[in-house]
Chains A and B, each alone.
Chain A
Amino acid sequence: MSENQKQIVKPTVAEAPEGVSGQGFFATSFEKAVGLARKNSLWPLPFATSCCGIEFMATMGAHYDLARFGSERLSFSPRQSDLLMVMGTVAKKMGPVLREVYIQMAEPKWVIAVGACASSGGIFDTYSVLQGIDRVIPVDVYVPGCPPRPEQIIDGLMKIQELAGNESLRRRHSKEYEDLMKKYNME
């Protein structure tokens, strides 16, 4: 009986950040608390265009469950999502559409480029394919692969979680970020 009890895996909660705790209170910096909340509840917008989209469907399925990381609610509306996951080839015809979707997202927002085609054009070095989505929108994490395995996509998501958890609250108002947005003609 006690053996079985030892083997029961209790559900874990997210690790608490550094802080001072006492009887009935826990004090930490605001940034850390907000970062903890944001990183464990990223709502992705699956911008699935081609083959990587099917690997995303496999990641979302029961075997590789993306919902464990807080991405339970996939939203197809940019206004209600935090993370833009661009999966698949983006053609030049699709570039303006991608830009519009990115502009409609509310801050803070992150972008993952999943797959070789989204990162750099992939195997399609042609006149009609955008050679990487970072020509139209700023990208935070690139996941290489053609298509990347679901484990790699989850790894990319975990890197975004690291970024989101450690982000300064002033980042989106800083000069570097504004310069970045100016580079892409997005004010």
Chain B
Amino acid sequence: MALDLDTDYWDKDVVKSEEPKEYNTLNVGPTHPATHGVFQNVMLMDGEFIVSTEQTIGYIHRAFEKIAERRPFYQITPLTDRLNYCSSPINNMGWHMTVEKLLGIETPKRVDYLRIVIMELARIADHIICNSVIGVDSGALTGFTYIFQDREFIYEIYEEICGARLTTNMGRIGGFERNFSTKAWEKIRYFLKTFPRHLQEFENLLARNRIFMDRTINVGPFPADRALAYGFTGPNLRACGVDYDVRVMNPYCSYDEFEFIVPIGQNGDTYDRFIVRQEEMKQSMHIIEQAIAKLDKMEDKDTYYASDPRFVLPPKEKVYNNMEALIWHFKIVMGETDIPVGEVYHCVEAANGELGFYLVSDGGRTPSRLHFRRPCFIYYQAYPEMVMGNMLSDAILTMSSMNVIAGELDA
């Protein structure tokens, strides 16, 4: 909001200097509390206003695409965990679905619904981090400490299902490694009962808070056509007003049987991104409730993997007791199965946008080429355009509202 000064009147006695303006350089370096992750912005500043920024990334480049060419399909799942590590199950499920598409495995409905429950929980977990960190960056630390308790509870649910908290390596190609235990279901239902109230408490702290609104409305706005040109997807694009959601446009994993709203914003500023993520968390709760209702109605409560013995690892009890299962287990692990030659592209709606996997197989045990379409990498390019001419503190909030995760940026 610039002051409207009548410069002709006020400055008529001022002698204008002939020297060019001096800018100074500010290094918002790789280690900085506000960049949640390691990436560097060298900003040219005119006082408090940013003239231009130059970005450097790659400080955590771990060469995932190269490692993937050396690992059999089931060993790539831990790599995908570490892409967007705030919501690892979504990456895992996306990878499994890609391989299932290549191998032509059809998962039973129950597996689809279980996957949806897990993916929506992971989406809630990721949005919890992003929204609470927007609060922390603007000085509101309380929301972070309140809502992180719920993220701890989601970690407990993950532990019941796969044993790990953060980098879950959840599920197998064709389903899951074990059925969800009764304890897991108890925890999920308890979460559904208590989370809406906690989320509302968190929202009351920030969403209609005068200070937060002043700091985030009209901060870092981005028009929809530029967003599309820059390859935005996910909540950042939906905040600009384009309702592109992979779950609706190219449904996977039985998402077309579920009813949910896709929230969109108006002018793509930080406040819109915050509110879109809040709404998405509520919609995720709604989807989980529908999935649980569908699962309760099914008579079959025991299937948790697709029955395709050529590619789906059999459960361990069968491997130790049954000859055929032992043989299939050996063949799959040793790479003696016939992987078809071909290429697939599969995308899922990750917490940050369209996470795509382009897998090229030449019939061998490992992929010939695996390319991750990482949403963070693609939309972070637009950051200089978003912050040009804005103040430094606005630029910090814009960056944290875009939810740039370093693991996904560099891969």
Whether the complex brings A and B within 8 Å at their CB atoms is answered yes
For residue A128, which residues in chain B have a CB less than 8 angstroms away from its CB? 61-63
What is the minimal beta-carbon distance from A5 to any residue of chain B, in angstroms?
Answer: 30
**A51 engages B166 (CB within 8 Å):** yes
Given known A50-B82, A147-B166, contact A129–B407 (CB-CB < 8 A): no
**B85 engages A91 (CB within 8 Å):** no
Q: A35-43, A93-101, A176-184: which one contacts chain B?
A: A93-101
**B62 engages A91 (CB within 8 Å):** yes
Q: Interface readout for A51-85 with B: 1 if CB under 8 Å, 0 if not?
A: 10111011001110000000000001000000000
**A54 engages B85 (CB within 8 Å):** yes
**B85 engages A50 (CB within 8 Å):** yes
Choose from A49, A57, A63 the contact partner of B60 (Cβ within 8 Å). Answer: A49
The CA-CA distance from A21 to B81 in the complex, in Å, is: 56
Q: A22-30, A119-127, A132-140, A160-168: which one contacts chain B?
A: A119-127
**A51 engages B61 (CB within 8 Å):** no
Answer whether residue A144 sits at the interface, using C-beta atoms and an 8 A cutoff: no
Answer whether residue A88 sits at the interface, using C-beta atoms and an 8 A cutoff: yes
For residue B32, which residues in chain A have a CB less than 8 angstroms away from its CB? 76
What is the minimal beta-carbon distance from A178 to any residue of chain B, in angstroms?
Answer: 27
What is the minimal beta-carbon distance from A99 to any residue of chain B, in angstroms?
Answer: 12
Given known A55-B166, A124-B67, contact A63–B149 (CB-CB < 8 A): yes
The CA-CA distance from A89 to B36 in the complex, in Å, is: 14
**B148 engages A57 (CB within 8 Å):** yes
For residue A123, which residues in chain B have a CB less than 8 angstroms away from its CB? 78
The CA-CA distance from A94 to B85 in the complex, in Å, is: 20
Answer whether residue A149 sits at the interface, using C-beta atoms and an 8 A cutoff: yes
**B67 engages A126 (CB within 8 Å):** yes
Choose from B61, B81, B86, B145 the contact partner of A91 (Cβ within 8 Å). Answer: B61
Answer whether residue B80 sits at the interface, using C-beta atoms and an 8 A cutoff: no
For residue B29, which residues in chain A have a CB less than 8 angstroms away from its CB? 97
**A51 engages B60 (CB within 8 Å):** no
Choose from B37, B155, B165 the contact partner of A49 (Cβ within 8 Å). Answer: B37
What is the minimal beta-carbon distance from A95 to any residue of chain B, in angstroms?
Answer: 10
The CA-CA distance from A58 to B167 in the complex, in Å, is: 14
For residue A149, which residues in chain B have a CB less than 8 angstroms away from its CB? 165
The CA-CA distance from A147 to B370 in the complex, in Å, is: 25
The CA-CA distance from A127 to B60 in the complex, in Å, is: 12
Choose from B31, B148, B165 the contact partner of A62 (Cβ within 8 Å). Answer: B148
For residue B144, which residues in chain A have a CB less than 8 angstroms away from its CB? 61
Answer whether residue B364 sits at the interface, using C-beta atoms and an 8 A cutoff: no
What is the minimal beta-carbon distance from B47 to any residue of chain A, in angstroms?
Answer: 23
**B30 engages A94 (CB within 8 Å):** yes
Q: Interface readout for B381-406 with A: 1 if CB under 8 Å, 0 if not?
A: 00000000000000000000000001
The CA-CA distance from A146 to B30 in the complex, in Å, is: 22
**A63 engages B30 (CB within 8 Å):** no
What is the minimal beta-carbon distance from A148 to any residue of chain B, in angstroms?
Answer: 10
For residue A146, which residues in chain B have a CB less than 8 angstroms away from its CB? 167
Q: Which residue of B lies closest to A63 (CB)?
A: B152
For residue B82, which residues in chain A have a CB less than 8 angstroms away from its CB? 50-51
**B31 engages A58 (CB within 8 Å):** no
**B58 engages A93 (CB within 8 Å):** yes
Choose from B59, B151, B152, B166 the contact partner of A97 (Cβ within 8 Å). Answer: B59
**A58 engages B151 (CB within 8 Å):** yes
For residue A127, which residues in chain B have a CB less than 8 angstroms away from its CB? 63, 66
Known A51-B166, A93-B59, A94-B38; further 9 A-B contacts with Cβ < 8 A: A51-B85, A54-B86, A55-B166, A57-B148, A63-B148, A63-B152, A91-B61, A124-B62, A128-B61
**A and B contact pairs by CB, cutoff 8 A, 21 listed:** A49-B37, A49-B60, A49-B406, A54-B86, A57-B148, A58-B148, A61-B152, A76-B31, A76-B33, A88-B60, A91-B60, A93-B58, A93-B59, A94-B30, A94-B38, A94-B59, A97-B31, A97-B59, A101-B31, A123-B78, A128-B62
Q: 5 tightest A-B contacts by CB?
A: A51-B85, A61-B148, A76-B33, A126-B63, A94-B59
